[in-house]
Chains A and B, each alone.
Chain A
Amino acid sequence: MNDSIRTFLRQPSGLLGLAILFLVCLAAALAPILYPGSPWDMVGAPLQPPGTAGSLLGTDTMGRDIASGILHGASVSLMIGIASTIAALAVGVTLGAIAGYAGGMVDRLIVRFIEIFQTIPNFVLAILLVAILTPSISTIILAIGLVSWPPLARLTRVQVQSIAAREFVQAARCQGLGSMSILLRHVIPNAISPIIVTGSMTVASAILIEAALSFMGLGDPNYMSWGYMIGAGRTVIRMAWWASLFPGLAILLTAVAINLIGEALNDALNPRISRS
């Protein structure tokens, strides 16, 4: 593990990713201190360009401060990204592990199920779920989790299959350990590193899906979100480019940072795969 940390730290791109992500977390933490008021409150005249009258990044159609919105939106984006990835991991790893370990009929059924979910256009399903169950943080997390698990299930299945065939697993079985404890104690810990890598990239795609949902007007109405800000800025782009440019940059930077970290993690945790 120490070796892995050292390999990770040796990569400039991974460090850059960590640095950007640290800044995003810092923005989320400092939002209530730097901008104690609600990001929905009017602070000045509408559509003021950046730098005027105390608003660093300008104001939107309702006179709301763009900089305040971006800082307050950071925690929502990160929270939804991480929570929906955990939901996707729970479903994906469970189904993938059962399919890979059980094999036979169970495996074939689960693979079919995964294939069906991969056929469905997943963004459309997410829209449908959030729209019908009414938009809130929990339905958004549920929807993103429900459309993000299939790749994780596929990966886990293949990993578990290859680990389960190894000799140490057979040895554990000969000692009379039950399937459940073999799976949890011997197979999954050895299969986990590529799943961690893909899981970290899933956070980035979850953040992008959340942004797209709130852009479509399906965000939680109680929380400021980057996607919502771009959606609100869309209609006034001719007059106020800043209302959509800056929130988009925030999404872009966060997603790039997470992908950079994911790639560096990949090199650190799966040295054989990345070198071949």
Chain B
Amino acid sequence: MSLAAIFSRVAGIVITIFVIATINFVLVRAAPGDPAAVIAGQSGATDEKFLAQVRAEYGLDQPYVVQLGAYLGKVATLDLGYSYRLRRPVKDLIAERLGPTLLLTLSAFLISLLGGVVFGALAGVRHGKISDLAISLLALILYATPVFWFGLMLVLLFSIKLEWLPAFGYVDMRAGSFGPFAYALDVLKHLCLPALTLGAIYMAMYARLMRASVIEVAAEDYIKTARAKGLTEGAILRGHMLRNASLPVITFAGLQVGAMIGGAVVVETVFSWPGLGRLIFDAVTSRDYPVLLGLFLVMSILVIAVNLLTDLIHRLVDPRLAVR
């Protein structure tokens, strides 16, 4: 990457964060009622003295431009405000919830990509046969399934009827007495259903894409050449088709991470998974707006970071991109 390209990339990121912070700022002012009450996270009965204090701290009696400047300054110094409900800085609340969300999203991402590539390739190779129809039909249905409902149905089947896996939470309540290995195993057990729920919907999307990609690649000349030189179908699939066909799927999957972090919100709500999404649900229920605004900002930055990371990985995997 040239210096100019890096510079324009960094500028793009700064502009994006600026726009997101501005959306936050505008929303608080567009909300019905007093912005001080919105920031204080209270509705109805309000303490005038407390509101005056909030007004002074956020400079709400100043012109909008000054207010916006003050808010952006706070964002730039990573000051995300204070949750008056939970009596803790928003930054701390978010920091302790980041780990579980990353664990859930990353697991779901791997499940969806792996499953999508495998099932999509299977359907593509058996184009028009029964197994293709079955996979395509399943993908169509999964794609139209509400994520949170799918999670509940998995709980119904695997936790309530079969009693194989825990229905909610991050670890068992007795986990304090577990050794490190037993603790990790317990988290893994709790992770299964949420990760599968979040991953399955995206798996359907990637499987459809992979299927189309395999069918397209199968018609290429180099596949005919491979066949002509006497390679077995298995060797052609492994050596020539899979790699080329999965590239567009991986590119697309990288772009979907943002939507996946959004999807994690409902999944964490269903499974009481103690991540950022569950924090959003609690903040919505208790109308804790500083937490909501801070979460929106942090989750957006998370998406930007992941996009940057997938782009870098992509350049390593596919050297043709680095040249361009």
Q: How far is the CB of B198 from chain A (nearest CB, A)?
A: 12
User: How near does chain B come to A258, taking the closest CB pair, in angstroms?
Assistant: 8
**Do A252 and B145 touch (CB < 8 A)?**
yes
Within 8 A of B (CB), among A209-228: 211-212, 215-218, 227
Stretch at the interface among A29-37, A118-126, A171-179: A118-126
Number of residues from A at the complex interface, CB < 8 A: 45
B15 proximity list for chain A (CB < 8 A): 112, 116
One digit per residue, 1 when the CB lies within 8 angstroms of any chain B CB and 0 when it does not, for chain A 9-34 equals 00000000000000000000000000
Q: A134-B32, A212-B266, A215-B148 in contact; A127/B261 too (CB < 8 A)?
A: no
A230 within 8 A of B: yes
Binds A, one of B50-58, B66-74, B234-242, B289-297: B289-297
Smallest CB separation, B128 vs chain A (Å): 15
Contact B259–A131 (Cβ < 8 Å): no
Residues of B contacting A211 in the complex (Cβ-Cβ under 8 angstroms): 146, 149
Mask, B143-178, CB within 8 Å of A = 1, is 111111100110110001000000000000000000
* B residues near A233, Cβ cutoff 8 Å: 152
Residues of A228-274 contacting chain B, CB below 8 A: 230-231, 233-234, 237-238, 241, 244-245, 247-248, 251-252, 255-256, 258-260
A128 in the interface, Cβ–Cβ < 8 Å?
A: yes
B171–chain A nearest beta-carbon distance, Å: 21
- Write the nearest CB–CB distance from B93 to chain A, whole angstroms: 16
Chain-A contact segment, one of B116-124, B181-189, B280-288, B314-322: B280-288
A204 interface hit (Cβ, 8 Å): yes
| Neighbouring A residues of B140 by C-beta, 8 Å | 256, 259-260
* Contact of A248 with B31 in the complex, beta carbons under 8 Å: no
Q: How far is the CB of A62 from chain B (nearest CB, A)?
A: 19
A-binding segment of B76-84, B224-232, B299-307: B299-307
Given A212-B147, A238-B160, A122-B141 contact (CB < 8 Å): no
The one of B27, B32, B152 that contacts A129, using a Cβ cutoff of 8 Å? B27
Q: Does A90 contact B (CB under 8 A)?
A: no
Query: Are A252 and B258 closer than 8 Å at their CB atoms?
Result: no
Does B30 interact with chain A (Cβ within 8 Å)? yes
Interface of A, helix, strand, loop or mixed by DSSP: helix
A124 touches B299 (CB 8 A): yes
Partner of B270, one of A116, A123, A234, A238: A234
Closest chain-B Cβ to A188's Cβ sits at a distance in Å of 27
The answer to whether A252 and B27 touch (CB under 8 A), given A120-B303, A125-B296, A238-B160, is no
Q: Is B244 part of the binding interface, using a Cβ–Cβ cutoff of 8 Å? A: no
Q: Which residues in B have their C-beta under 8 angstroms from that of A237?
A: 152, 155-156, 160
Q: Are B292 and A128 closer than 8 Å at their CB atoms?
A: yes
Known: A230-B146, A255-B146. 8 other contacts (CB 8 A): A120-B20, A120-B23, A128-B27, A129-B27, A132-B28, A248-B152, A255-B144, A260-B140
The 10 closest A-B pairs by CB, nearest first: A123-B262, A248-B149, A255-B144, A121-B262, A256-B144, A132-B31, A121-B261, A116-B16, A121-B258, A132-B27
By a beta-carbon cutoff of 8 Å, the part of chain B in contact with chain A is 12, 15-16, 19-20, 23-24, 27-28, 30-32, 38, 140-141, 143-149, 152-153, 155-156, 160, 255, 258-259, 261-263, 265-266, 269-270, 280-281, 284-285, 287, 289, 292-293, 295-296, 299-300, 303-304, 307
18 contacts between A and B (CB under 8 A): A116-B15, A118-B258, A120-B258, A121-B258, A122-B262, A125-B23, A127-B280, A127-B284, A128-B292, A128-B296, A133-B32, A204-B144, A211-B149, A212-B147, A215-B266, A245-B156, A256-B141, A258-B144
